[in-house]
Amino acid sequence: MSGSKIPYVKHNNGTQIQSIGLGTYTSLGGDCEKATLHAIDVGYRHIDTAYFYENEGEVGAAVNQKIKEGVIKREDIHITTKLWSHFHEPERVEYACRKTLQNFGLDYVDLYLMHWPYSYVYRGDNEMMPTDAKGEVEMSDVDYLDTWRAMEKLVELGLTKSIGVSNFNSEQLTRLLANCKIKPIHNQIECHPALNQKNLIALCKKNDIVVTAYCPLGRPNPAEKTPNYIYDAKVQAIGDKYKKSTAQVVLRYLIEIGTIPLPKSSNPKRIEENFKVFDFKLDAEDHAILDSYNTGERLIRMVHAIKNKNYPFSIEF
């Protein structure tokens, strides 16, 4: 399926985005550049990365190569990246964004997210997890509203088309919406059948905020046959019914419950497979089976931040 046939989702500010994206976390050493090049050739027009991933340069190199080749124009592709937690002080935000643009070799990004609602002490650009003498991560107490106000200025400066958040819970999102000039267009959250996030998705939908889903396949481990929703016979039977893999079934489920999944892969065949999820639909019985895996169990818990006032996972959603 070509990129032109993939549905797009409209944002609250009028911009739009392809309803699946390429995730790039842990993709390094040239793998990310190769994956991005292949993804663009396949038809992906939505790439997700972050300063913390340390691969913005690889994504930028691939995008610039494909622009040079005439495969895409800059305006054809949506690039999301994220402000890391050691740059939350308002006076550091513009600097961080400009540094990111330098990494990409681009004039602007399409979407700049606040990666987490909590913040770290700044010890240098590359000290992304600053630790004290005891080896504990040094947290700070910057209010994410102050960080957000600095991010709003980035839109005015033309450094990013849009801004959004990641890992914000319902209370944090509600507080942000009550105190912002520019509404977030996205909340990027961990979402998969074991953590289907339906309550948070409903809140985001009510406020015209798009949900993007990271870890959509739950980091499959073939040796251990985990997570169960990738390896269970019941999900395999759903896949057989539609001539699809269990991964494609799960991605389709996440699209149908109202998210944009961001499957990460550097395997060319998997990159192609993950894109082919728009030519079938799940029925109510399929949804009931996939809903049954929802235990609320998180893969990404960030326990080092649990005592911080802005830690997002201390409430139900």
Active-site annotation holder among 44, 53, 120, 253: 53
Q: Which of 251, 261, 308, 305 is nearest to 282 (CA)?
A: 251
Q: What are 112's strand-pairing partners?
A: 81, 163
3-state helix, strand, coil in the chain (%, to 5): 40, 15, 45
Q: What are 164's strand-pairing partners?
A: 113
Task: Specify whether the CB–CB gap between 250 and 229 falls below 8 A.
Answer: yes
Amino acid letter, residue 7: P
* 53 catalytic per annotation: yes
Residues of each annotated binding site for substrate: 115
Order of strands, edge to edge, in the sheet holding 46-48?
22-23, 46-48, 78-83, 109-114, 160-166, 186-190, 210-214, 259-261
Q: Which residues of 137-157 are buried (b: 16+ CB within 10 A; e: fewer)?
A: bbbbebbbeebbbbbebbbee
Question: What is the C-alpha separation between 203 and 199, in angstroms, rounded?
Answer: 6
Residues of each annotated binding site: 115
Q: Which helix (H) or strand (E) covers residue 260, if one does?
A: strand 259-261
205: number of Cβ within 10 Å: 12
Residues annotated as catalytic are: 53
